[in-house]
Every structure is written in C-alpha cells, then in structure tokens.
Amino acid sequence: MTTPEITIDLSQCAAGLADAAALMAEAAQHLSEAARAMCYVPPPASNGLLDVATHENATLRHRSGESDGLSNRHSDNEDANTGNNVQRPESPAETLDAFLPTGGNQPVLRDQRLTSPALGALSLTCSDQDELRNAVLFPGRYFIILEEEFDILPLISAYASICHKMLCCMPFIEASQSWRVLLSAMSPNHNVFEVAEESSGFSPGVAQYLSSDIPSLLIQSFTSWQIHRAVSSISDFFLVWGFLNIGKDPLTRIQDTIMNVHHTCAIVTPQEYEFSHVKAYFALHGFAEHPRSTLIKQFDVTGLLSEFRTTVQSILYDPKFYDNISHLYKASLGFFHHTPSKSIWRSTTRTSQLANMFAAKILLHGRKEDGSSRFKPDGMMLPVDRESIRKFGLESAVQLGLIMEDSMYLDDYQATPSSSTIQRENKSNLEAAGNWHIVLEEDFDAIPFILYQIEQHPKVICFISYGSTAQPYQDIFSLMCPVHYSVLRPGHSKDSMNKRLSMFNSLQSGLLLLRGAKAIPTLGSPNLTADVVIYWGVPPEPHFTDHMKTVQAAHTFVLMSSIDSLPIRQRVMVGHSIKEYPGSIQMNSVGPKSPLEPYRERMRQAMVVVSTKFPKRIYNDQVRTWVQARESIVRANQFAARVLLHGELYDGSALYPPVNSRPRMSEKQVIKGGLQRYISEGIMWIG
C-alpha cells in the first residue's frame, strides 16, 4: 500500500518532468528557427536585377584543382563500376531503425560513395553560393517554362548547391535507385535519399532526411509522395517536374508541401504549361513566372546554369552510369505506358516516342532526331530486354524501329531479309484482299487512311459511325480530294438514299459516305458495288451485320481506335471473324517511309485552313448523340483534338498536336442540353 508521503513525491516528480519537457520543446523550437535563419537568405533590398547584372560577365568558378583530385579518387573504383554494372547505393533503405540515430553523438548512417564528389562535379565557393542564392532563391511559388528539357537536371543541381534541405518531386521512381545515383554524382556534397514507389507509412528515406545533419536532397514521385509537415518545415526548397502524365488528382498530393515550403519552383515544358488543369493549379496556388527565368534559361557562358550543364553532361556521358540511364529509360517506357491519370491515353507507338525523347533530351542517350540540336544525345538507341517489350506490348514498336531489342535476346542465326525482299513483302501486305481490321495507333490516321485508299482504288464506300450525319465529313473530304473527284452523301430520306446509290454505281470513281448506324433500304435499292469498303468505327448491331452482307468489295477494312472497348473488338474479331490486316504495321508506322505520311500532311494543312463550322458541327453532333453527358463531352473533346486537330493539347496527340482551338457550343445548345455545369468545369466552351 502506497504511503501519502511517497504519493506526494511522485506527483512532484511528474510535475517536474512535465516542466522539463515543455522547456525542451521550447528550446527545440528556437533551435529550429535559428537553423531556418541560417539556411535561408532573403533577397537583397536593392534592385535584384541590378545586382545580378553586375555579375553576368563573371561565371561561377569551377575549381580545376579539385577536379584532378576527384579523377584520382574515382579511378580506385573503376573495376567495380564498369558500364556493365549499374551504380547502386551500397546500403539501400530497408528499415526505419537502420536510419535513426542510436545515440546522441553518433552520426546518421549514410552511403559514403554516394556523397563523394564525381568526376567533373561542380564545387562552389561561398561567394558563388551567395550570388546564385540571391539570383534565384526567393520566398514564394514560381514556375519556369524550359526551352530545353535537358536543363531539368542542371537546374536541380544548381538549386541543390545553395540549399541545405531540398525536396524534389520526380515524374517516376524506379527500383534500382538510378535517380539517386545520378543526382548524388551531380550534387556530391549532398546526401540523396529516395522514397520508393511502393512505400507506405513513414519511409526510411524520410527518416534519414529528417535526421541528416549535412545538406540533403529527398526525391519522391507524384504517386509515392508522402506528406509530412516536419519534412516541409525544415526544407528550404521544393522543386517539382514531369507534368506530362499528371492529371488533377496527383497534384493534390503535393499541395500541402507547396503551401509549407518557403520556396517552390515548378518546371514545365511549353506543352505542359498549356494544359488547362496545370494553369488552373498554378493560378489557384499563386504561382508566378520566376523573376530570373530569362537568366536561368540563358545559353551562353553568362547563364546561371552554364557550368552546371557542363557537369551534368560529363556525368551522363560517363560509361559508369550507362546502366543507370538504361534503367531510367526502361522505367520511362512503363511510366508513359501506364499513365497515372485515367483521362490520359496514348498508343504504344507514342509511348515509345515519348520514352525515346525523354532519354535523348534529358539523359542525352538516343537518336539525334529524338533529341535537341543544342544539347545533342549520343546517337545510340538504348536497348530494351524482351521481357519489358512483352510486358508493355511494344512488339510493333520494335518492328517500326522505335524500340531496339537487346541483342542478347535475339536469335544467333536470325536471317536478315534484304531490302528488296522487305519491299515486296510490304507491298504484298498492303494489297492483300479480304476482310480486315486495323487498330489505329493514332486516331488522326483515320482520314489519311481513307485518302490513301481513294488514290489506290477507284471506288470507295465509307461507313462513318461518329455522329448522326455525314454532311460535315463530306465537306472535309471535298476539301482534300481532287476537284473532279466525286464525294457523295445521301440525305436522310429513302428517295435521297436511292438517288445517291444509283449515282455512285454509275461513276467510274468516287467516294460514297454513309452513316454506320443507318440501314440501307433493301427493297427497290440498287446493288452497291465498290473496290473498297471502310468502316470508320464499328456500327451498332444489327446494322454492322446487315452492311457486311449487303455491300461486297474485294477489300473491306474496319478501322478501330486503340481506346475502343474489349466488347467492341471482340464483336469484330470473334463475332465476324475479321482478322488483323497484314499491313497494319506499315499503316501505323511514322516517318517518310510510311504509306500514310503524305496524306497526314495533306490532312494537317487542310485542318489549318478549314472553316471552323465543319469541326464545330461534328463536335456538337457528338455531344448530343452520346447517352452520358460527361463521357460524351470528354470523347468529343478527344475526337476533335486527335482526329480533326481542333482542341486542347492535353486532349490531343503529342505526335499530331492540334492546330486550332477546341470547337464551341452555342449558349442555346448548352442551355437546352442542361450542360452549364460543364462550362463551369472548363471541359466545354461557349461561342
């Protein structure tokens, strides 16, 4: 039984401990504020532009003496770090306990090799750091529109050189921690920590970042972003880039960090900046263009990134990091293939092209045509293993030459056909008679494909399943076909239908446009004959079956989109036993050797000058004919942008971007359809 005296003593001890805890918390707060004051240097009260101008002719100094020493230090590890071995952190983050300090005087564990300076690494003096800090590090939220995507990594390196604690949101993180390796080489005085994509809860990388007493950089992706106020409160700077695949939802994950870090900078390409949801996000959170944007993007020796670019180039060209770059390239294929936003879709061809441009423009590895003329890639494509090719469905991209399969996976005795043999096979594939289906990698190719068939065959019939009328399509085809060429379209009445069918039968050549969802009268109607029948979109039943029975031709093509649902595809491939066209690869190919290339250019030029009333009529017709309003508007936006090249960049194809603005609906139509809410959301325009 406890005595009263002991109870009183314990109460006094508890009160004393509470007072001590309060004092310790207050002291910790003061220490945190002091550390913040030491890390953050406000801009000078004088005219900042004038201050920077006085230094424009003096570049940031690169200490060559240190570079020689760095070369010697790196030569010791050359045997362990060949081009065949990916550079990895020696102790990847596994458990939280491994990174927490076990005693007050014990330093936080860190990978010594990651923080040792790399060959060509830039070392700044205190005056250099002050100059750069005063030039770019202002409190607030800013964006920079880069002219060259290569500048992303030099910009990260530049900011890291003047920050004690820096956060960076990357487009993706991959398992080998190759971003961590490259950024460690570019910022040798920093510990670089990483949060893996599959991380949940409190990541060890976050724990390391919080406890590190030396300059640190923490990298995460939009999908793995962990929100911790403690992380934001100790960070000087937050840099975010990689908006191409990002819709509205992923942006909400970084919102808390944006609001709690003193300086935030979003790096965007000109294309990304035009996305309406990105502009809206910037406006909502008070982003402004960086006041030193022009100086940052300057490309001569007086530019702020001049020597950082040189450093990054030397690292990316270093054979030691080849496998790391290869890992990032393969990760980018997965990133662009599996988009984080459901509203974003792209074909396997476009996935390959985006990954190739990512590697060539940012990592400086790949074909020259995929890169920049200012910061040239090495000219060699990065190989991809067969497992990744199958995983992402890139077999057609390999055949088109967009992806290079790793030679170790190729058959040793694989015969290489001659160019003449390939040409004969290609011609035979393109001329094959029968009933075929083609899944278009780019929706834009539908009209160029029809134009190609018009020039190959005298008489063509096209059933159009997009919209309730073929009239605006007739106007568009008439614009691109020769003056003497007949483009016919029957009206809605039976008499009009019979008249146009008879006229088409009497012609030596011509194009007949019919609605896929409208029946052809069987009684009293002439029998239709044509060289080619094209179904642009799959008509609903029973019309599809009836059309296939009624209209016969040597060549029948069903054009499907890559985003058509599985039931639609099965109806064509299984229900009607229509096989894939043997010339599909050639039709989906890009470049001067593609059979569709001249027709693509003709289509693009026509969409530049076409009267806006034709795309508007097609657009309005599609919005009114869909059952679900929101879905119909989204699909109409995509159709207008991808097929007619009228729309927003984010609705269109990056390979064939829109050339005109999105079609508008009249206020009367909006009110009649009860669509006002979609105007407010910005997915529809009035005009």
* 28-68 residue pLDDT tens: 554 444 444 444 333 333 333 333 333 333 333 333 333 33
For 94, left (φ over 0), alpha (ψ -120 to 50), or beta? alpha
Please write the tens of the pLDDT for every residue from 677-686.
888 888 888 8
Q: Which of 386, 377, 382, 434 is nearest to 408 (CA)?
A: 386
What residue has token string 């939009």? 222
Residue 484: per-residue pLDDT: 82
User: pLDDT band at residue 198, thresholds of 50, 70 and 90?
Assistant: low
Distance set, CA 31 to CA 35, 262, 662, 672 (Å): 6, 18, 55, 64
390-399 mean pLDDT: 86
Distance set, CA 520 to CA 185, 450, 459, 542, 546 (Å): 69, 21, 18, 12, 8
Residue 674: per-residue pLDDT: 85
Would the pLDDT of 591 be above 60? yes
What's the pTM?
0.56
Would the pLDDT of 69 be above 60? no
> Which of the two residues, 14 and 487, has the higher pLDDT score?
487
Edge-to-edge strands, sheet with 165-170? 191-194, 216-221, 165-170, 237-241, 263-268, 140-145, 288-289
Residue 348: per-residue pLDDT: 81
Please write the tens of the pLDDT for every residue from 143-188.
999 999 999 999 999 999 989 999 999 999 888 889 999 999 999 9
Q: Where are the alpha helices (DSSP H) in 543-594?
A: 543-550, 566-570, 584-588
- Would the CA dihedral through 108, 114, 118, 124 be positive or negative? negative
What is the helix (H) or strand (E) element at residue 630, kind and residue range? Answer: helix 629-642
The listed range with the strongest mean pLDDT (44-58, 93-107, 223-237, 436-450) is 436-450
490 within 8 A of 528, measured Cβ to Cβ: no
User: pLDDT band at residue 89, thresholds of 50, 70 and 90?
Assistant: low
User: pLDDT band at residue 267, thresholds of 50, 70 and 90?
Assistant: very high
- Would the CA dihedral through 136, 139, 143, 149 be positive or negative? positive
* CA count, 13 A, side-chain hemisphere, 109: 17
Would the pLDDT of 554 be above 80? yes
555 within 8 A of 433, measured Cβ to Cβ: yes
Would the pLDDT of 235 be above 70? yes
356-383 mean pLDDT: 94
Alpha-carbon distance of 269 to 357, in angstroms, equals 13
User: pLDDT band at residue 26, thresholds of 50, 70 and 90?
Assistant: low
CA-based radius of gyration for the chain: 31
- Would the CA dihedral through 41, 44, 49, 55 be positive or negative? negative
Please write the tens of the pLDDT for every residue from 657-682.
899 999 998 888 888 888 888 888 88
622-637 mean pLDDT: 77
Please write the tens of the pLDDT for every residue from 329-340.
999 999 988 775
183 within 8 A of 219, measured Cβ to Cβ: yes
Would the pLDDT of 564 be above 90? no
95-121 mean pLDDT: 35
266-292 mean pLDDT: 90
Looking at residue 686, the DSSP 8-state letter turns out to be B
User: pLDDT band at residue 569, thresholds of 50, 70 and 90?
Assistant: confident
Can you spell out the DSSP letters for 381-432? PPEE-HHHHHHTT-HHHHHTTSSEE-GGGS-TT-----HHHHHHHHHHHHT-
Mean pLDDT, the chain, whole residue set: 78
> Which of the two residues, 606 and 23, has the higher pLDDT score?
606
Residue 127: per-residue pLDDT: 55
The two structure tokens encoding residue 325: 């770059």
Distance set, CA 164 to CA 40, 190, 231 (Å): 9, 8, 13
Q: Which domains does the chain have, with CATH numbers?
A: 96-101+109-345 (3.40.50.300), 347-411 (no CATH), 425-592 (3.40.50.300), 613-681 (no CATH)
* CA count, 13 A, side-chain hemisphere, 389: 18
Q: Which of 452, 459, 454, 556 is nearest to 508 (CA)?
A: 459
**DSSP 3-state of 50:** helix
289 within 8 A of 143, measured Cβ to Cβ: yes
564-591 mean pLDDT: 85
**DSSP 3-state of 237:** strand
Which stretch of 78-82, 391-395, 557-561 has the lowest confidence by average pLDDT? 78-82
